[in-house]
Amino acid sequence: MYKVSEPVFVLDISSDERKQAEKVRGEFKKLELLLGGAFESLGRLAASMQGLQHNDRMIELKSLFIKYKHKVQDLFNEFLDQLQVSLEQMNEMISDSSTLKIRDTIVGEVRELRDGALEVIALLNRPEDPTFLKEFQEIFVRLSAREKSLREIISDQLTGHIDRDILGKIKLGKSKVRLSKGS
């Protein structure tokens, strides 16, 4: 009796593709750091608002909120600039449907983050609004969930895909079918 062994696939990745994958991984690490900095700043603002009651003092704090608005804008713009660099590097690496799916997922999450950041920026212009504190906390909770999701996509899906499938932590080999005598 003869048995057919399972085919083994080898995917040849050129050294240029490996270098590009390393570059993409590095760019997304920078992106994660910028994202962390932006959320650290936003988190400090959220923590400082804990326990505040809406009152006339909110108008006095308007100049502080305006400064924070500019800081949030600057941090998110820096994040978006790095995202552009990261995606451009990623586009040079795309050679499979997995990378395309990951890129599209990242872009979708970033759109949600951008929309939330724009909500925060608009809200910081109107601290006199009676719903200001409640709205800020709601937006912050949503943004925090998106930030966590984006970090997971980058670290688990993108970095995992690069390490496993491109940099060769798992080797796939050329198809070979062998017949062997069974017992």
- E strand or H helix that includes residue 3: strand 2-4
Average pLDDT on 46-69 reads: 80
Provide the Cα torsion 157, 160, 166, 171; round to 10°.
-130
Give start and end residues of each alpha helix (H) in 50-131: 57-60, 62-93, 97-123
In a domain, 175, yes or no: no
In a domain, 143, yes or no: yes
CATH code assigned at 64: 1.20.120
In a domain, 181, yes or no: no
- The mean pLDDT of the chain is 84
pTM for the model:
0.78
What domain count does the chain have?
1
The residues that bridge with 180 in the sheet, in sequence order, are 3
User: Which residue type is seen at 133?
Assistant: L
Q: How far apart are CA 103 and CA 154, in angstroms?
A: 10
Enclosing domain of residue 135: 19-169
- Please report the pLDDT score of residue 172 as a whole number: 45
Closest CA to 48 of 63, 61, 60: 61
What number of residues does the chain have?
183
pLDDT at 169 over 70: no
Average pLDDT on 44-61 reads: 78
Q: Which residue has the higher pLDDT, 131 or 177?
A: 131
